[in-house]
Structure 1
Amino acid sequence: MSGAGARTVDVPDLVARARRGDPRAVARLISVVEGGAPQLREVMAALAPHSGGAYVIGLTGSPGVGKSTCTSALTTAYRRAGKRVGVLAVDPSSPFSGGALLGDRVRMNDHASDPGVYIRSMATRGRLGGLAEAAPQAVRVLDAAGCEVILVETVGVGQSEVEIASQADTTVVLLAPGMGDGIQAAKAGILEIGDVFVVNKADRDGADATVRELNHMLGLGAPRGPGDWRPTVTKTVAAHGEGVDEVVAALDKHRAWMEEHGELTARRTRRAAREIESIAVTALRARIADIGGDHRLGALSARIVAGELDPYAAADALLAEVTGR
């Protein structure tokens, strides 16, 4: 990836081609943002006027609940409604080259030749929380490229799977009967992050019990006022396309509620604030790393060991050196 980002990039041409739906241009732009290429800032500036219109849906849940199958089924439903769809699938190890395949490629084969669907796999590279570090920028690329709905499928690593709530307009939590997911939901805190809950593989024994357990636990959560959103629980057999229309209806209902109550803009504003903070912290960390071998850091450390300085005062001094304040 870094090699791709290192080559000369004609950003205006690349953005123009991506806006026309050229999949190669979209792939190249995502490679630029994923690799942290020197043109990253120019790319983000060029995309800014064209982004902000896509509805971002995050899908999370434990391994084996059928996230890829549900993602594929939702893609089919939105394409049937005439929507252009972007799929960002986060892979736990490394991304596939070219940016056109999910970790589970078989389940998305139906969409591989559809020009109205763009599918990209990204790597977490060890990052916790189920998302790749460049996911927000990749979403912006897909948004600017004309995707009206963007489905972000997380790694599926279990209890660290909550970061998606800060990156999506609506968070869908998938569970399956017979996997102990009801108990895991309480442990992982996903009751707090889910806007729509989907019990997939509902043709298995225990599906109704899982739905009841979820509804019970949701009822025990924080008190909700008359106008507050109450998460919905639906059942699907995504492999057969059953219940998918009900999931889309729940998503539409949640989006309408957010728009009516100003929550959609509020969530996107909070998302932008977190992105700004992340970029600023990353830049600050890089500047601190630059002086990591500097004599000033060694001198501060020696003073702590000698009992002349506490770590907080030393950190303040280091920040003052970095920021010039």
Structure 2
Amino acid sequence: MPAADVAALVAAAREGGPRAVARLITLVEGASPQLREVMAALAPLAGRAYVVGLTGSPGVGKSTSTSALVTAYRRRGKRVGVLAVDPSSPFSGGALLGDRVRMGEHASDPGVYIRSMATRGHLGGLAWSAPQAIRVLDAAGCDVVLVETVGVGQSEVDIAGQADTCVVLLAPGMGDGIQAAKAGILEIGDVYVVNKADRDGADATARELNHMLGLGEARAPGDWRPPIVKTVAARDEGTDEVVEALEKHRAWTEEHGVLAERRRRRAAREVETIAVTALRERMADLHGDRRLSALAERITAGELDPYDATVELLEGLTGG
């Protein structure tokens, strides 16, 4: 694609053109040589969307809950973007679960854009390109961006760093209380949702969660206390209450400066990730490089230790 097309793509995306949004996210996912140009064009247009992350154990109904939230926000006249981050196929590298199929009821709505993204082996429950994809949807005029992650686990809590508000979903009868404590998700949730609340044990799950949240509290007066909302997402029950909880959290973060700080930290992590990725690519080019071989020879001869060798290598790579 000619470089001149980037400006046209961005302009079309601002008008809500789904093809333009899709092309921009494809450039992001593919780490296109034009990615820097795309990000430069989007930078002054982004920063307006509210980013809501949804995570939880497999089977709690994340996709169904996400679809219900899309419906609720559309009732309020909001434009909604959805990034559904799925596990990767070990063969093609593509997303396995296909959330766009499960959210088919929104496919014909011009006010909704849904994109499945593959983790491509990235730990933390998010694709490495998710921050840039969020920026595309933000710049394209989405009022709310919902980011649904793969099933949460020991290390899969990256969503807390990418979202303005993080929703943790649980369900009765799945041992989610213990899983929540193990995975550390009690520390990342801003709003907790007990989905499938029509099942036996829903009240017990909510009580257990409330107890565990109380045990882990170290909050000062005026700090945010995460609410617990019970839903039956498949029947769109309780979804409006979730949206109300999200709006209350948003108002609290804006009033206390938490939202601005979260976004600053998010930007810092994004820069760090890009820098580390660039450095890793340079390191990959070193295999067979004489500089690395020479350092290895000095280490084996006892002339240099590995740490000083690393410093020397990094200085050579970065020009420091």
TM-score tier by shorter-chain length is over 0.9
The 5-angstrom pairing of residues 106-185 of structure 1 reads 106-185=101-180
1:104 Cα deviation after fit:
3.2
1:106 Cα deviation after fit:
4.3
Confirm or deny: 8 A CA contact 2:99 2:116 kept in the other structure.
no
> When the two structures are aligned, how many residues end up with a matched partner?
317
1:102 Cα deviation after fit:
7.0
Instruction: Find the aligned partners of 1:199 and 1:32 in 2 and give their Cα distance.
Output: 37
1:157 Cα deviation after fit:
4.7
Is 1:206 the counterpart of 2:201? The answer is yes
**What code does the residue aligned with 1:256 have?**
A
Instruction: Find the aligned partners of 1:12 and 1:266 in 2 and give their Cα distance.
Output: 30
Instruction: Find the aligned partners of 1:289 and 1:93 in 2 and give their Cα distance.
Output: 23
Confirm or deny: 8 A CA contact 1:63 1:158 kept in the other structure.
no
Q: C-alpha deviations, 1:204-231, integer Å up to 9, x for none? A: 1111111011110111114101111111
Instruction: Find the aligned partners of 1:27 and 1:222 in 2 and give their Cα distance.
Output: 42
Is 1:250 the counterpart of 2:232? The answer is no
**What code does the residue aligned with 1:292 have?**
H
SS of the equivalent of 2:229 reads: strand
- Equivalent in the alignment of 1:273: 268
Instruction: Find the aligned partners of 2:97 and 2:65 in 1 and give their Cα distance.
Output: 13
**What code does the residue aligned with 1:296 have?**
R
CA shift in 2, pair 1:117/1:94, >3 Å = farther
Instruction: Find the aligned partners of 2:155 and 2:137 in 1 and give their Cα distance.
Output: 25
1:295 Cα deviation after fit:
1.1
CA shift in 2, pair 1:272/1:17, >3 Å = same
- Equivalent in the alignment of 2:2: 8
Is 1:88 the counterpart of 2:88? The answer is no
Confirm or deny: 8 A CA contact 1:89 1:102 kept in the other structure.
no
Q: C-alpha deviations, 1:72-121, integer Å up to 9, x for none? A: 000000000000000000111159x9x9x972344311100000000001
**What code does the residue aligned with 2:61 have?**
G
Give me the identity figure in percent: 79
1:296 Cα deviation after fit:
1.3
Instruction: Find the aligned partners of 2:319 and 2:102 in 1 and give their Cα distance.
Output: 53
- Equivalent in the alignment of 1:221: 216
- Equivalent in the alignment of 1:232: 227
Instruction: Find the aligned partners of 1:159 and 1:288 in 2 and give their Cα distance.
Output: 29
Match of 2:68 among 55, 68, 73: 73
CA shift in 2, pair 1:105/1:283, >3 Å = closer
RMSD of aligned alpha carbons: 1.8
Confirm or deny: 8 A CA contact 2:124 2:158 kept in the other structure.
yes
**What code does the residue aligned with 1:123 have?**
A
Stretch moving more, 285-294 or 143-152: 285-294
- Given the two structures, how large is their TM-score scaled by the length of structure 2? 0.95
The 5-angstrom pairing of residues 37-48 of structure 1 reads 37-48=32-43
1:276 Cα deviation after fit:
0.7
Unaligned runs of 5+ in 1: 1-6
Q: C-alpha deviations, 1:252-282, integer Å up to 9, x for none? A: 0100000000000000000000001111111
1:303 Cα deviation after fit:
2.3
SS of the equivalent of 1:245 reads: helix
CA shift in 2, pair 1:67/1:203, >3 Å = same
Instruction: Find the aligned partners of 2:235 and 2:300 in 1 and give their Cα distance.
Output: 65
Is 1:53 the counterpart of 2:48? The answer is yes
Stretch moving more, 286-295 or 17-26: 286-295
Confirm or deny: 8 A CA contact 2:149 2:159 kept in the other structure.
yes
Stretch moving more, 150-159 or 314-323: 150-159
Instruction: Find the aligned partners of 1:176 and 1:182 in 2 and give their Cα distance.
Output: 9
